[in-house]
Amino acid sequence: MDRRKFLAAGAVGTAASALAAPAIAQDKRQWKMVTAWPKNLPGPGVAAQNLADRITTLSGGRIEVKLFAAGEIVPGPGVFDAVSEGTAELYHAVPAYWGSKSKGILLFGSQPFGLRADEQVGWLTHGGGQELYDEMYGRFGIKPFLCGNSGPQWGGWFKTEINSVEDLKGLKFRTTGLASEMASKLGMAAQAMSGPAMFQALQTGALDAGEFIGPWTDSALGYYQVAKNYYWPGVGEPSSAEECGVNADVFAELPEDLQQVVSFACESLYNPVWTEYATKHAQSLRTLVDEHEVQVRKFPEEVIAAMGVAAAEVIDELRQDEDELVKRITESFVAYRDLIGGYMTYADNGQMNARASVMGY
């Protein structure tokens, strides 16, 4: 190659490099994730960080997600509005916190006597739930994704034993979502607050009892230090889905491959998060009983039956809601619950009962 051709080729290469560099820079995004949790709180705090890291990794760094714990940019209860208004690009929380926006939202997180973790995904993926989820959150400029689940939550930490429905009346009780409405119908004074705040309230007597998640997370927050009676089953939340909410305009502006990255990052974490909860809950329960003398107690059958009556009233009110979308969400949930529940009587329920009858072989 003569000198003139060499210089011309070099000039073209230099020009191409000059054009390519800004394009690459423009293809990188820095996103703020706000969460409802303390940083690395066992369970949801860990899951939130895993999601931030996974989006960053799967995107090849084209979306760099930096996590901000509750209170660092906005308080935990403010993350929904922060993303809706564009203060942050995405959040990690649970639908149970957004009942003030619409009661229909609450069904996407947990439902008293409702769906288990696997069934929740089944409803959204195969029962029409995702379309309704998108429609509801679209009202607030948010694109929602499920990204984890705590599995069955517990009935709660009680300072005194519960022997009858009467024992519940007047109790100051921490819970959230539709479980709080069920509790209110049983005469309890339901209060919503953060997990750390629940510990302080139990300690000072501002609460008589409360539920947060399950043994793993609850152990980290120290509830066993201020209440020794740990009740099951947690019929108020047979599962509790964790969600990622992305600002809808920000999501729509992404190229298709990065939209798929965000979607897959959420979807791919659901089972790892859920199974980590289950494993760590099992390990932590042994520690609570063996080392901290926690008393694991089952709610009396009459209490469970009364909870069922109250839960049915909650769902009936949703079916009669003035908002047509809330009605459609409720009918879709009920139809899927009845469909899958009828099958599980023979499938998973049958297997679990059979296994329990021969445990120890």
d(CA 311, CA 303): 12
User: Is pLDDT at 341 greater than 70 in this prediction?
Assistant: yes
Question: What pLDDT score was predicted for residue 62?
Answer: 98
* % of the chain residues with pLDDT over 90: 92
Tens-place pLDDT, residues 186-243: 999 999 999 999 999 999 999 999 999 999 999 999 999 999 999 999 999 999 999 9
76 close to 194: Cβ distance less than 8 angstroms: yes
Tens-place pLDDT, residues 237-262: 999 999 999 999 999 999 999 999 99
Q: Classify residue 14 by burial, with Cβ atoms within 10 Å: 0-12, 13-18, 19+.
A: exposed
Q: Does 211 show up as a binding residue in the annotation?
A: yes
The amino acid sitting at 81 is D
235 to each of 78, 81, 207, 249, 299, how far by Cα in Å? Answer: 27, 29, 20, 37, 10
Question: Phi/psi at 251 (nearest 5 deg)?
Answer: -65, -40
User: Is pLDDT at 20 greater than 60 in this prediction?
Assistant: no
Where does the pLDDT of residue 12 fall: very low under 50, low under 70, confident under 90, or very high at 90 and above? very low
Backbone CA torsion sign across 103, 324, 149, 45: negative
82 close to 74: Cβ distance less than 8 angstroms: yes
Domains and CATH numbers, the chain: 29-150+239-278 (3.40.190.170), 156-238+291-357 (3.40.190.10)
pTM of the model: 0.90
147 in helix, strand or coil? strand
d(CA 53, CA 237): 28
Question: What pLDDT score was predicted for residue 25?
Answer: 53
d(CA 252, CA 260): 11
Where does the pLDDT of residue 27 fall: very low under 50, low under 70, confident under 90, or very high at 90 and above? confident
Q: Does 225 show up as a binding residue in the annotation?
A: no
Tens-place pLDDT, residues 104-143: 999 999 999 999 999 999 999 999 999 999 999 999 999 9
311 to each of 98, 160, 235, 344, how far by Cα in Å? Answer: 19, 24, 9, 20
Tens-place pLDDT, residues 135-160: 999 999 999 999 999 999 999 999 99
Average the pLDDT over 61-87 and give the result: 98
Question: What pLDDT score was predicted for residue 304?
Answer: 98
> In 96-171, where do the E strands start and end?
142-149, 156-158
The chain-wide mean pLDDT, for the chain, equals 93
Question: What pLDDT score was predicted for residue 359?
Answer: 81
The amino acid sitting at 199 is F
Average the pLDDT over 170-178 and give the result: 97
d(CA 67, CA 45): 10
Question: What pLDDT score was predicted for residue 360?
Answer: 72
Question: What pLDDT score was predicted for residue 16?
Answer: 37
3-state secondary structure 167-210: HHCCCEEECCHHHHHHHHHCCCEEECCCHHHHHHHHHHCCCCEE
Average the pLDDT over 341-353 and give the result: 94
Q: Angle, nearest 10°, between helix axes 324-344 and 117-126?
A: 120
Question: What pLDDT score was predicted for residue 18?
Answer: 38
- In 3D, which of 157, 141, 143, 274 has the Cα closest to residue 208? 157
246 in helix, strand or coil? strand
DSSP state of 88: S
The amino acid sitting at 118 is D
Q: Does 3 show up as a binding residue in the annotation?
A: no
Q: Does 264 show up as a binding residue in the annotation?
A: no
Q: Does 174 show up as a binding residue in the annotation?
A: yes
Residue 200 tokens read as: 């302080």
